[in-house]
Amino acid sequence: MVDHSSLVDFLLLGFSEHPGLERILFVVVLISYLLTLVGILIILLSMLDPRLHSPMYFFLSNLSFLDLCITKSFVPQMLVNLWGPKKTISFLGCSVQLFIFLFLGTTECVLLIVMVFDRYMAVCQPLHYTAVIHPRLCRQLAALAWVMGLVQSVVQTPPTLHLPFCPHQQIDDFVCEIPSLIQLSCGGTTYNEIQLAVSSVIFLVMPLTLILISYGAIAWAVLRTNSTIAWRKALGTCSSHLTVVTIFYSLVISVYLQPPNPYAQKRGKFFGLFYSVGTPSLNPLTYTLRNKKVKRALRRLLGKDEDSRES
């Protein structure tokens, strides 16, 4: 076991067992990172266009900002490791990366629940929507998501960093995450594994269950109307969020709720790459390409909207 005061660098193995794959992954990660910048466009549109000053786009701006922060926290380090022979990260850098990654990942889990609550009220309780989902409540719900993410990171990061790490200091991953750091430990990890399991149930299983129940209620409410227009409106309102939820939770569960065997861990590393790099780049594209209001706001910003020219 290693004294934490003597730790200088960790070695992030990443995909070093497939050196030919690393250059391909470098290009993929770089493109995904650039696509994440579309989130800046969503934030600007939500701020500049009065027609997007609604709860849905307020939460979407939070999600876009969250995705930008997630990629900023580890993608530059990953690109350096994929391109060159140096694949190390300092103990301090690993600690900061773990804290930020856990903080933002938990915040996104909570924020997705908040967003589905907004969609549930819009579809199932349209007459009470403006009275319930007012700006003050939106700010409180968004703040709750960020605070819960911060608390989760403060609680879970220190016990992980105080594990008795093995002398080889090799992390079989491309980023400092809890599962990979638990694998690096040469001592008892029962407490950390229990903590990881409990937090996974609270922030993964329970949110996903609530989201599925909410969408079930939305589908039932729409089916009872027997209206094709209502069905199309609900589909247009919820399809983007449902797509994001499906991709996000399927990948995260594959990483954090995997059986403890080498094959599952290797597979989880690939899922982890798509979850941490692919999801933040797909989220803004999903909301931009599938949302007519966002596309119209972009055309108005560029001066290409027909209504603005006619007026």
pLDDT tens for 129-181 read 888 898 899 999 999 999 999 999 999 999 999 988 888 888 888 888 888 88
Those residues whose C-beta lies under 8 Å from the C-beta of residue 279, and which sit 6 or more positions away, are: 67, 244, 247, 248, 251
The DSSP element (H or E) to which 89 belongs, if any, is strand 88-90
pTM across the whole model: 0.83
Domain boundaries, the chain: 4-310
**Which one is the CATH code of 4-310: 1.20.1070.10, 3.30.1330.10, 1.10.8.50, 3.40.50.300?**
1.20.1070.10
The whole-angstrom separation of Cα 275 and Cα 9 is 25
How many residues in total does the chain contain? 311
**Residue 289 is encoded by which pair of tokens?**
């390409």
- Contact, 159 vs 253, CB < 8 A? no
pLDDT for position 311: 40
How many CA atoms within 13 Å lie on the side-chain side of 264?
Answer: 11
pLDDT for position 309: 46
The whole-angstrom separation of Cα 252 and Cα 211 is 15
Instruction: Read off the amino acid at residue 278.
Output: G
pLDDT for position 204: 86
CB under 8 A, 24+ apart: contacts of 305-309: none
Residues of the chain with pLDDT under 70: 1-8, 230, 236-237, 258-268, 288-291, 301-302, 304-311
- pLDDT tens digits, one per residue of 232-242: 777 766 777 78
